[in-house]
């Protein structure tokens, strides 16, 4: 099960991912995240506190979000990850793109 909430906080868009972002959930997640790609005026914070699993298609979504912020000259930030998600992100090279926030 995957659950996504998007909230705004000053000049930041907070995207909270909960549950399993697996291959099945990714296409639905992509639809739910479409408002994020329509915003070019804010930094994007991916809140991974309750993200339990992420697959390659989930990582591709995060890569696209990063590309979007980069084109707009905004910051892409990852906030709080479980050890498992941390390891996947690290191995995939994502921690060299996203900024980290505790």
Partner 1 sequence: MIKDEAKRLLAENQALRLEVEKLKDELIRLIGHNLDLTEQLEAYTEIRRRVEVARELMDGNINRQRNADLQDDAQLLALIELRVEQQRLHLQPDFDTDALADLIGVSHERLTRLFRTNTIHRTPEAYIGNLRVLTALRLLREKPNYSIAAIAKDAGFSNVRTLQRRIMDTIGMTPVEYRQILTRDI
| Minimum distance of partner 1 from residue 92's CB (angstroms) | 6
How do beta strands 12-21 and 2-9 pair? antiparallel
Closer by beta carbon to partner 1, 14 or else 95: 95
Closer by beta carbon to partner 1, 49 or else 60: 60
Phi, psi (rounded to 5 degrees) for 63: -65, -40
| Minimum distance of partner 1 from residue 93's CB (angstroms) | 5
User: CA-to-CA distance for 50 and 57, rounded, in angstroms?
Assistant: 18
Could you tell me if 83 and 76 are in contact, meaning their C-beta atoms sit under 8 angstroms apart?
no
Closer by beta carbon to partner 1, 19 or else 92: 92
Could you tell me if 18 and 4 are in contact, meaning their C-beta atoms sit under 8 angstroms apart?
yes
Contacts of 86 (CB under 8 A, 6+ apart): none
| Minimum distance of partner 1 from residue 15's CB (angstroms) | 19
Binding site for partner 1 (CB under 8 A): 23, 56-57, 59-60, 63, 66-67, 70, 92-94, 96-97
| Minimum distance of partner 1 from residue 76's CB (angstroms) | 11
């Amino acid at each position: 099960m995957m659950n996504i909430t998007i909230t705004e906080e000053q000049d930041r868009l907070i995207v909270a991912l909960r549950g399993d972002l697996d291959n099945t959930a990714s296409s639905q997640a992509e639809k739910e995240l479409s408002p994020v790609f329509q915003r070019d005026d804010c930094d994007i914070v991916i809140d991974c506190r309750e993200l339990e699993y992420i697959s390659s298609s989930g990582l591709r979504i995060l890569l696209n979000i990063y590309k979007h912020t980069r084109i707009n000259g905004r910051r892409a930030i990852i906030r709080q990850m479980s050890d498992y998600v941390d390891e996947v992100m690290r191995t995939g090279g994502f921690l060299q793109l996203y900024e980290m926030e505790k």
